[in-house]
Structure 1
Amino acid sequence: MKKISVYTAASIVIANMIGTGVFTSIGFQLNAIQNTWSILSLWAIGGLLSLFGAFAYAELGTHYKESGGDYIYLSRIFHPVLGYLSAWAGLTVGFSAPVALAAMAFTHYLSPVLGLSANHQSMAVGIVLLIGLLHSFTIKHSSRLQNISTLMKIGFIFILILIGWWYAAPTANALQWNNHWQKEMVQPGFAVSMVYVAFAYTGWNAAAYVVDEIENPHMSLPRALIGSTLFVTVVYILFQYVLLKHAAVAALKGREEVTFIAFNNILGTTGGKWVSAFIAIQLIATISSYLWVGPRVTWALAQENKLWRPVATKNKNGIPVAAVWLHVVIAIVLLLTGSFEKVLLYAGFILQLMATLTVATSLFTTPKPHPTFKSPLKPFLQIIFLLFNAWVLVFTLMDKPVESMTGIGILLAGLVLYFFDAPYKSQQKEATESQLPQ
């Protein structure tokens, strides 16, 4: 099977990270916090925590060198039930929900340009089906799609940042440089806003899920994870500043299409429509990256659990086609049945929880001799990551109980399924042991 380069691995990470969150989250954050220092701090803290997490995943990925990410690490270090739950969460929400959200945003941004209703769901379904099809052939096809779409994404967001910095701010804008941040940063709303940020940063660990498809993973994986996370952090902070600079709080607050609002103020109606069109186009890279990574986790689950065996197959080119299409179907169900903000919140809660558990596994691994990556300042950075994430999860549970309990309910459903699957696993283990020489 053809391996992917460090550049393709990095493009998977960048495309996973730069998706719907960076273009939509600030409107929801402004419901709770409005000081510019507070908002930019959110994105800086999110980037720093993602970097700490990237260190841990680079160590774990080069230690195990198996595709599957959280499923592999949690199963091998803690207990198979945690690995099972992480894969279940990834299948039902973690990887499928970002595809659904990106498809919703794709439709929301492109429909006005084409003169269609913003709720034109057939367009969202169509783009998910098309990208699922393109990921069903070879690694070469997937690499080309990912590299080209990610380059377009990077170029586009850089152009937006340059335009936003170049044009003068209107009199009425959302920039508030006062000391109110000192109060905002200790309120529950700040912690809840971190869920939106955490969702926007989701994907900093993406390359670890496909590690056995990467050339020279002991070098390429750390470079892809760490370099991409640092790059995206800088981009995110600059972009949020641009949005706040070019629109008032009242115009942005509670709105999903915040990027269109800000750039409509800069470029006028026609220019705003072009920006909307390009936002939609760059989301292709996001959908592509999640439909690449997610099925590899599901495939790893299917290898070791009989109930999932129908999706354990690969085509002659090493593509887990059945798993790809399972994710496509679930993403379509989510986009047809869920609202944007609710899906974002319960998906963000679950992803935050599973990443927290996985980073915890790195505290119990001893890196193998070279060429395994060793996380710097271990275990201090991991402990900071775990404590901060626990704080965010607790406050999210308190402030958004319905969405949080939805996420927990999804995990409980996976737990029931695991114990239903357990007898099959026991039978499989007994059959294997009976074949061993006595």
Structure 2
Amino acid sequence: MPPARLSFTAATAIVVASMVGTGVFTSVGFQLADIPSGFPILILWLIGGVVSLCGAFCYAELGAMMPRSGGEYHLLSRAYHPLVGFLAGWISLTAGFAAPIAAAAKLFGSYTHGIVPGLNETALSVGLVLVIMGVQLCHLRFIERFQLGFTILKVTLVISFIIGACWLGQGRWELLQPRPGDGAYFLSKPYAVALVFVMYAYAGWNAASYIAGEIENPSKNLPRALIIGTSAVTFLYVALNAVFLVGAPWQEMTGNMQSALIAGRAIFGQRGGDAMGTLIAFGLVAHVSAMLFSGTRVLRVMGQDRRILRSMTYTNAVGAPWLAVLVITLVVLTLMLTGTFDQLLLYIETLLLGCSLLCVLAVPWMRWRQPGLERPFRVPLYPLPPLIFAAVVGWMLFSLVIRRPVETAWGAATLVVGVVIYFLDRAGRRPEPGAEP
């Protein structure tokens, strides 16, 4: 019997669920602290969507050309060098999946505790992670149904929130109009850092590339899942943040990670807001599930290539990589108990932006280096998408290094550890004819 494969719908659901996590429900509070104007903030979310779509085009070309699970680990190993790919995989383990899962679980606990103060916030967060760990040890078909169900719930939640806010809100749409002085925000360093929060909210637009080997007909369905999923989420994000800004008191949201809960209470009243907060909290279930699923697949592919990680290929009776699931879960639980939310977020995004930038630049590199390879999908309007992505992400990385050096140093330390592990693996492996260097 052939192994089970994810449908196009399931792959798209994983992209959407990976994207709609903590960032969209928390970022506007941090943005208002340095950019107290609605129009520049709304443009931030539009820029984030356009940049993410440019990245999705590039990943679609690479993934359709080299359809194997692993995301940046696989793509960068093929495009540049195995060390570059290994570092990307190491980042995926420590920051790309574990840290966002930890942030989402912390937000789940925070939202649920805010609604029912008697519940323990930490226990709720840990409980969610353990439940999702159990789901990921089940058969692929069960995981697919679980993911689809909670993703549909999440999207329905967001659309209901937007429609309800437009229907019942105060309608202070003038807050989104351009104001004198807005132009100065666009070129400021705080705007670049605020864009980091936005790009974190969009993180996950490349999710289908991590599970390419488990998708039906990946050369066709991988690009479709990436592009359709990213486009849909861009529309939802711009609309959702518009209703946050026009419906909630800015002074309460500023610097507060519970922006969506504050907006829900301001628009729908205490009970309606609490109900919306509950739905938002449970909407994070799909995000945690999608990220843990993708992360374990990256770790399994690394185990197939690397002796030091060979145990990550161990599967249970239904084919789930049980040890990879356990390892990422332990890393998640460790991260949940350390660091503040904004520090964790910036640490994540610094590393992920660097990996994504290298992957996008691999498109022109591979076209020059191996022009004869079959490309089932080609980046539209080339070379504009990779140029836009590289320009925006490069600006963000420069601003992060200057403005938040501590988080940047954490990222550098993470890379150093990855380099050490890579060379330990090489030193302990016997050379084989045709083996990867």
- The correspondence of residues 15-34 of structure 1 with structure 2, limited to 5 A, is 15-34=17-36
Query: Which stretch of structure 1 is more off in the superposition, 176-185 or 48-57?
Result: 176-185
CA distance in 1, matches of 2:121, 2:250: 28
Distance 1:352 1:115, change over 3 A: same
The one-character-per-residue Cα deviations of 1:208-249 (angstroms, maximum 9, x if unpaired) are 111111112122111111011111001000000101011222
CA spacing shift, 1:81–1:370, aligned 2, 3 Å: closer
Q: Deviations 1:295-351 (Å, cap 9, x if unpaired)?
A: 111111111111111212233443222111111111111111222111111111111
When residues 316 and 275 of structure 1 are mapped into structure 2, their CA distance, relative to the original with a 3 A threshold, is: same
1:433 positional shift: 6.1
2:232 is equivalent to residue 231 of structure 1: yes
Alignment of 1:422-437 (within 5 A): 422-425=426-429, 427=430, 430-432=431-433
Whichever residue aligns with residue 289 of structure 1, its letter is A
Cα shift at 1:115: 2.9
1:68 aligns with 2:70: yes
Indicate if the aligned counterparts of 2:35 and 2:41 stay in contact, CA closer than 8 A. yes
Cα distance, 1:370–1:421 mapped onto 2, change above 3 Å: closer
The answer to whether the Cα contact below 8 Å between 1:173 and 1:249 also exists between their aligned partners in 2 is no
In the alignment, does 2:85 pair up with 1:115?
no
CA contact (8 A) 2:42 2:176 kept: no
| Aligned position for 1:393 | 397
Deviation at 1:169, TM superposition (A): 2.2
Deviation at 1:371, TM superposition (A): 6.7
Report the more deviating stretch, 242-251 or 47-56.
242-251
1:352 deviation in Å? 1.1
Sequence identity (%): 36
User: CA 1:98/1:325 → structure 2, altered by over 3 Å: closer, same or farther?
Assistant: same
Residue matched to 1:103: 105
- State how far apart, in whole Å, the 2-side matches of 1:330 and 1:200 are: 21
**What are the Cα deviations for residues 381-407 of structure 1, in whole angstroms up to 9, with x where unaligned?**
112211210110000111111122212
For structure 1, which segment, 331-340 or 236-245, has the greater mean C-alpha deviation from structure 2 after superposition? 331-340
| Alpha-carbon distance, 1:424 to partner | 2.4
Aligned pairs for 1:18-417 within 5 A: 18-116=20-118, 120-169=121-170, 175=176, 177-366=178-367, 372-417=376-421
TM superposition shift of 1:41: 1.0
CA distance in 2, matches of 1:57, 1:172: 36
Give the structure 1 partner of residue 5 of structure 2: 3
Could you tell me how far apart the structure 2 residues matched to 1:326 and 1:238 are?
37
Q: Which amino acid aligns with 2:191?
A: F
Q: CA 1:116–1:175 in structure 2 vs 1: closer, same or farther (change >3 Å)?
A: farther
Task: Report the residue type matching 1:166 in the other structure.
Answer: W
Q: TM-score, normalised by structure 1?
A: 0.94
Task: Give the letter for the 2:67 counterpart.
Answer: K
**What is the TM-score when the length of structure 2 is the normalising length?**
0.94
Matched letter for residue 23 of structure 1: F
1:368 CA drift (Å): 6.3
Q: Which amino acid aligns with 1:219?
A: K
Question: Cα offset for 1:432?
Answer: 4.4
* Unpaired stretches in structure 1, ≥5 consecutive residues: none
Deviates more, 1:77-86 or 1:119-128: 119-128
Any conservation in 2 of the 1:50–1:204 contact (CA below 8 Å)?
A: yes
Measured after TM superposition, the shift of residue 36 of structure 1 is 1.6
Please tell me the residue identity of whatever aligns with 2:416. L
| Farther off after superposition, 284-293 or 349-358 | 349-358
- CA distance 1:87–1:32, change in 2 (3 Å): same
Q: CA deviation at 1:112?
A: 2.9
With over 3 angstroms needed to count, the CA separation of the structure-2 counterparts of 1:32 and 1:176, relative to structure 1, is farther
Q: Is the 8 A contact 1:74 1:80 kept in 2?
A: yes
Structure 1 residues 174, 398: closer, same or farther in 2, change over 3 A? farther
Distance 1:268 1:41 in 2: 28
Kept in 2: contact 1:35–1:180 (CA 8 A): no
SS in 2 for 1:215: coil
Deviates more, 1:300-309 or 1:77-86: 300-309
Partner SS, residue 334 of structure 2? helix
Query: How far apart are the structure 1 equivalents of 2:375 and 2:27?
Result: 39
Q: CA deviation at 1:173?
A: 9.4
Distance 1:275 1:92 in 2: 32
